[in-house]
Structure 1
Amino acid sequence: MEKPKVHPYIPIFIGVISVSLSAIFVKLVNAESGVIAFYRMLFSVLLMAPIFFMKYVQELKQLTTRDWLFSSIAGVFLAFHFILWFESLRYTSVASSTVLVTLQPLFAFIGTYFFFKEKITGKTIMAGIIAIIGSVLISWGDFQLSGTAFYGDMLALIACALITAYLLFGQDVRKRLSLVTYTMVVYGVSTITLLLYVLIKGESFGPYPAMDWIWFILLAIVPNLFGHTLFNWSIKYVSTNVVSIAILFEPIGAAVLAFFIFKEYLIATQIIGGLIVIVGILFFVVDEKMFLKFFKKKA
């Protein structure tokens, strides 16, 4: 394997900060959730279009009817993931919302168990129990804080389930297509879905203050294209587990930023529950061999 010019952990660190900014940008925009999601996806598609049409458009011929169907379903799930997650940020804190959305690895396990009959292990069950205890603690604390915060937590959990469904439907198609082509198709379907949603809901496409348009564009560039692109680049040089673990720091980054920007203070149940969730997911995604190798090198 070729040696990277930059240590992979540097792009991973920048990627974590990039995705952490997603919730911050959403809270800074004055538009409704469907509109924010629509412009995020629209600008992502427009920014990717030149590269796609210059180098990858011919790959569309490889798509079968099944591929188009699964990609379309994935795009719809992605659209409603953004709608519900962005809406959750109106009711609950950035910290609670982002922690609950990071339960995605456990939702993914549930999906692969039912759809692909993957085996349940004791480690998985233990990780699930730990993470569920943490999420219940967050939700209980938010319910004590206010009913609307609890409602926001539930929206975040549903958004988490939807992003898992998006990944499950897309993983088969992704094996046969480049990242750019697959992303372009799914983002395109997602954009159309969000356009219809906004029209049906009667939400306004504008006008918005100039600053809102900047946030729309930054949502497309920073967490969508910049953050996840860096993760995809890093995966060539490091284990998938390293990236999975790094993404778990998104709620921490988002919570710190929310504290300084919005003065969002965390209560004890949010801190304890969030840490328990992160420990549970770490336990789920961590590779014991990776740690054994690490400690052998240190010895």
Structure 2
Amino acid sequence: MKQSRFGNLFLLHLIVFIFGFTGILGRLIETSSDILVWWRMIIASVAIAVFVYATGKIKKNLSVNALIYSMVGIIIAAHWVTFFEAIKQSNVSVTLACLSASSLFTAILEPIFFKRRVDKYELFFGSLVVSGLLLIFSFETEYKLGIILALTAALLASLFTTINGKLIQKDNPYRISLVEMMAGALGITVWLFIQGKLNVSLFQLPPMDWFWIAILGTVATAFAFVVSVKVMEEISPFTVSLTVNLEPVYGIILAFFIFGSSEKMTWGFYAGTVLILAALYLNALHRKGKLKRQKQLII
């Protein structure tokens, strides 16, 4: 049993490390953000489809909520486009630090979707996140557009995560993700058509871009999703939430070693990032205590 738990914890950290590495891939890939996400979602759709049908993970017909899944898929596509564009307009460190603000948006959105009262402690932790972001914004003024795009990506991430939190209670997570990936790919196809980019140039990417995009679509998207679902069946939500908070840490450290001086930031950036991560950690502890008290009341 201990070996099983150790194995799942290792897989969880591996997935979070892969999520952090996604930012690195976003900077390595030269292709524009929308085309990059188009290929990512197409590759992920094929990979997840092969997996679920080969393993029999989907055993009943398409859900009546397919339209809702499709809308969420378009939100995910928009999130990824703004995320990668934020990296191109700033750097990996700034983008990942600002993306942590999704916890603040979640604290606002969850009471709306789950019809519960706003938690004053979560708002307090959210204010700490805002303080951290203000520090980053005030010291990294040359990255204003990147910061705005990263915060937009954080809002969209919070939105689709909160909606999926409700959807997953009633349906197979594999089917939800498959429909979302396919719908996202279709949505970006329409966008590329409107932009006049739906042409042969989609297949004329730099050689190394093909390699990195293949890794992004298979390892960092399809594989990461499938393994994360498996891991969350064995590990507590508290452990998962704490570990996921390490994503910007892994990403920022990786970016510094891979890209060197271009990822070296001011002391204000690091102070703001530490403040954000501290707020996320305290929020996770608060949630654990809250769940424990609720269970005691039920007993």
Tell me the TM-score range normalised by the shorter chain.
0.7 to 0.9
Query: What is the letter of the counterpart of residue 125 of structure 2?
Result: A
Q: For residue 23 of structure 1, what is the amino acid of its counterpart?
A: G
Q: Please say which of residues 220-229 and 261-270 is displaced more in the overlay.
A: 220-229
Report deviation, 1:2.
10
Unaligned runs of 5+ in 1: 293-299
Q: Which runs of 5+ in 2 are unaligned?
A: 293-299
- Correspondences of 1:1-299 after superposition (within 5 Å): 4=4, 6-54=6-54, 55-61=56-62, 63-64=63-64, 67-143=65-141, 146=142, 149-203=143-197, 204-263=201-260, 264-286=263-285, 287=287, 289=289
State the shift of 1:141 in Å: 1.3
Deviation at 1:164, TM superposition (A): 1.7
Q: Which amino acid is 1:241 matched to?
A: F
Once structures 1 and 2 are overlaid, which stretch shifts more, 72-81 or 195-204? Answer: 195-204
Whole-Å separation in 2 of the counterparts to 1:60 and 1:37 = 28
Percent identity (aligned): 20
Pairwise CA RMSD: 2.2
- Equivalence for 1:296: none
> Structure 2: how far apart are the matches of 1:175 and 1:58?
17
The letter of the residue matching 1:115 is F
CA deviation vs aligned residue, 1:151-185 (integer Å, no higher than 9, x gap): 10010111111122212333333222222111101
What is the alpha-carbon distance in structure 1 between the residues aligned to residue 26 and residue 119 of structure 2?
38
In 2, the alpha carbon distance for the partners of 1:194 and 1:174 equals: 24
TM-score by length of 1: 0.88
TM-score in terms of structure 2 length: 0.88
Matched AA of 1:32 = S
> How much does 1:281 deviate?
1.4
Aligned residues: 284
The alignment partner of 1:31 has SS state of coil
Q: Distance in 1 between matches of 2:59 and 2:230?
A: 23
Corresponding residue SS for 2:235:
coil
Question: Where do 4+ consecutive residues of structure 1 move more than 6 Å?
Answer: none
Cα separation, 2, equivalents of 1:46 and 1:114: 34
AA paired with 1:113?
P
CA 1:179–1:114: 2 relative to 1, 3 Å: closer
